[in-house]
Amino acid sequence: MQIDLNGTRLWFDVDGPALVPDGNEMRQRPTVVLVHGGPGARDHSYFKPDFAPLVEHAQVVYLDLRGHGRSN
């Protein structure tokens, strides 16, 4: 997915639902935002498999920094 903010395009992935059924109601789960390391880290894809188990407990957002991956 992508978002354009003030002329900057940022790419990100979202895994897991924000809301889950809890009896007759919906319950909001926590959201975790993961950002790859600094220079030399190309994008979020290299660490995404390591954090995939978090989806069982939270919605996980993987964000590419400016100038990395497909972000500009």
Higher per-residue pLDDT: 20 or 44: 20
- Total domain count for the chain? 1
Distance CA 44, CA 27 (A): 28
Which position has the higher pLDDT, 24 or 48?
A: 24
Are 12 and 62 in contact by the 8 Å Cβ rule? The answer is yes
How far is it, in rounded angstroms, from Cα 64 to Cα 3? 11
Asked whether residue 30 is assigned to any structural domain, the reply reads yes
Q: Note whether residue 68 is domain-resident.
A: no
Indicate if the pLDDT at residue 46 is higher than 80: no
Is the residue at 69 inside a domain?
no
20 falls within a domain: yes
DSSP notation for 7-37: TEEEEEEEES-SEEEETTEEEEPPEEEEE--
Q: Please state the pTM of the whole predicted model.
A: 0.81
Closest C-alpha to 54, from 6, 15, 26? 15
Owning domain of residue 20: 2-63
**Within a domain: 43:** yes
Q: What is the mean pLDDT of residues 3-26?
A: 93
Give a yes or no: residue 45 inside a domain: yes
Give the mean pLDDT of 30-49.
80
What pLDDT score was predicted for residue 48?
85
